[in-house]
Amino acid sequence: MLKERLRRTVMYAAGNNPGLLQNAAIYGADSVIFDVEDSVAVSEKDSARELVYHALKKLKFPCEIGVRINHISTPWGYDDLEYLLPAKPDYIRLPKGESGEEIKDIDNIITKVEEQQGFEPGSIKIMVSIESPKGLRNAYEIASASPRMIAIAIGGEDFAASLKTEKTKGNIFTGGRELFVARSMIVFAAREAGIQAIDSVFSDLRDEETLINEVMLVKELGFDGKSCVNPRQIDLIHQVFTPSEKEIDYAQRVLAVFEEAQAKNSGVIALNGKMIDMPMVIRAERVLANARAAGVYQKEGI
Ligand SMILES: CC(=O)SCCNC(=O)CCNC(=O)[C@H](O)C(C)(C)COP(=O)(O)OP(=O)(O)OC[C@H]1O[C@@H](n2cnc3c(N)ncnc32)[C@H](O)[C@@H]1OP(=O)(O)O
Ligand SMILES: O=C([O-])CC(=O)C(=O)O
Ligand SMILES: [Mg+2]
């Protein structure tokens, strides 16, 4: 599993619902999370854990599957790890992450299970949701705590609750203000640590227009993808995160004129009246890499 694999959508499926576990991966999300945390009532924690274990062991999935465990400070967290790691999820999603120590603790437990089970060392990864001011303050420490870390995410509902405010609907111009600083700081921490940044769920399943606006906002902030809760949100999110034909065409032209400039021993050139130099080249390469990963651009090189 590549650190930089495409994770435009990371969709949750409640771990106590066998139908959801069976079908969640068929809708085209880049990544799916089987949840035994907040979508599962306390009375169902044991049965959900068992259901998720058997789903992971018995079913074949077309995308990567993570498991959101309960936090290790709760009565269920360590049992979730002990019970579910031998079923070899692609990654553990730790909710409400607050320190690098927690990640190191989980890393050590995974290392032991990998040894015991004969799994490839390092094959089980970790993704952490930041859902509190303390987690945000330690975001870089968390993001860089283990080579298993593939992404940090913001859990916006809990984050807003911990601020004693509401999670408003994110929009380019209004709304989402309560998460604006936290979202940016999570992107900064992820980028410094060299891992991905994943935005929070959007809970109003009927409001497609605001979902798209929110995805545009978080893409602009630098996020690689978004958590989601329902299959009908997948295509809308992919639509924003997948480079358009126009973006691909522009990226190709940027790389082509830059190559021309370099042939003339110059590091800067104009394209349609706009200066093109190294930062634009890096962005153009990223657009083409994402387009290739999304299957909308096949050429290697430019
Ligand atoms: C703040 C947090 O912690 S968020 C993370 C935890 N939350 C979750 O895991 C919730 C996951 N999502 C869900 O359970 C559901 O989408 C709900 C409860 C939000 C809405 O459920 P519904 O109103 O039934 O959704 P909808 O009518 O769109 O369902 C259509 C189909 O998609 C399926 N579906 C809906 N959500 C999911 C999902 N997350 N994964 C897989 N399948 C799903 C339904 O089972 C249904 O299938 P069917 O037609 O074969 O019966
Ligand atoms: O990961 C998410 O976005 C869902 C979540 O737990 C939250 O918002 O509190
Ligand atoms: Mg949460």
Nearest CA to ligand 2 atom 4: 155
Relative to the alpha carbon of 39, which ligand is closest?
A: 1
pLDDT, tens digit, 9 for 90 and up, residues 16-29: 999 999 999 999 99
* Ligand with the closest atom to the CA of 35: 1
Angle between helices 77-84 and 100-117 (to 10 degrees): 30
For the chain, give the mean pLDDT.
Answer: 94
Q: Quote the ligand 1 centre to 206 CA distance (angstroms).
A: 13
Prediction ipTM score? 0.98
Q: By residue range, what is the domain housing residue 287?
A: 245-294
Q: What is the CATH number of the domain that holds 223?
A: 3.20.20.60
Alpha carbons within 13 A on the beta-carbon side of 291? 23
Q: Are residues 235 and 263 in the same domain?
A: no
Pocket mutation for ligand 2, best pick of 70, 96, 158, 163 (most atoms within 8 Å of C-beta): 158
What residue's CA is closest to ligand 1, atom 7? 39
- Which of 207, 197, 66 is closest to 124 using CA atoms? 66
- Closest C-alpha to ligand 1, atom 29: 230
Domains in the chain: how many in total?
2
Residues 110 and 187 in one domain: yes
Q: What is the pTM of this model?
A: 0.95
Q: Is residue 165 part of a domain?
A: yes
d(CA 288, CA 283): 9
Position 190 pLDDT exceeds 70: yes
Cβ–ligand 1 distance for 39 under 6 Å, the answer yes
What is the spatial distance between Cα 169 and Cα 158, in angstroms, rounded to a whole number?
A: 15
Q: Is the pLDDT of residue 110 over 90?
A: yes
